[in-house]
Every structure is written in C-alpha cells, then in structure tokens.
Amino acid sequence: MTRSKYDRKVLLAVRAGRIDPRLLVSTRSLCQRMGAGLDILMISGGDELPVEVAELIKVLRADGMTYTLTQKPILRRRDIVDYANTRECISTVVIDSLEGWESVAADRTSNPWAKLACPLVTAAPAKTPNY
C-alpha cells in the first residue's frame, strides 16, 4: 500500500488576537520535517482571517502543502482533544500555551490534555527577562 505525502497531519489550535507569527512559522517547519499536512482550528468571532493566518495560508499554498481551516466561536481544550483523538491522521497537536484555554473550558478542574493520544507541543513566545 502506498501512502500519500500528507497522510499525517499536525493540528494547530489558535486563538484570534493571540497569534504569534513565530508559532505559525514553527508549526509550518514541523509539518515540513514530518512530511505532514496541517489542520487549523481557530477561535474567531468573525469570518475575516487574522493577517497572520492569511499569510500562513498563502505560504502553505505556495509550498503545495495540504491544509484545512475551521473557525469556531468557542474552542475548548476538550474540543481540541476530541478532534485529534477522532482522526487517526493527527500526529501532533500544537498550541501557543497551556495558559488561557482554561478560561473557555466548562470544567476548569479537568485535564483533557491528559487524554490526548498524540504529543502536545506548546510554543509559547519567549518572555523577556527582567534584568
């Protein structure tokens, strides 16, 4: 059986207003190293894409990488885990940070990340040290 180039996918979960361009560049590089496509889940209140995501999509198209984009008004930790766990092609989940997802979760005491069936990569921007 021959596998296509993008049988594996990376799931990127982002929140409009909290998109660090370095997160997008890192995720794209991860996809290239893994030979994987990209599924993007994004919390967004409108139809218009953030500039950073629109630029990422242009680059993905230019590179010939497969991708999907799903915009949702609410995206909980559990939603991300369920999405990844119900699609066997998802190899890795990338988020900006563990912080902040709890504020949109119905049950803040649960830890859905523990039920994730693949690696979780957090790519929080580096904080500037206070010297």
Interval 36-45: pLDDT, tens: 999 999 998 8
- CATH code of the domain covering residue 88: 3.40.50.620
- Predicted TM-score (pTM) of this structure: 0.84
Provide the mean pLDDT of the chain: 85
Flag whether pLDDT at 5 surpasses 60. no
Burial of 24 (0-12, 13-18, 19+ CB in 10 A): buried
pLDDT confidence bin for 68, thresholds 50/70/90: very high
Specify if 130 maps to a domain.
no
Would residue 80 count as lying in a domain?
yes
Domain holding 64, by residue range, is 10-105
Domain count within the chain = 1
Contact 35, 66 (CB under 8 A): no
- Give which of 19, 1, 3 is closest to 97, Cα–Cα: 19
| Domain annotation covers residue 71 | yes
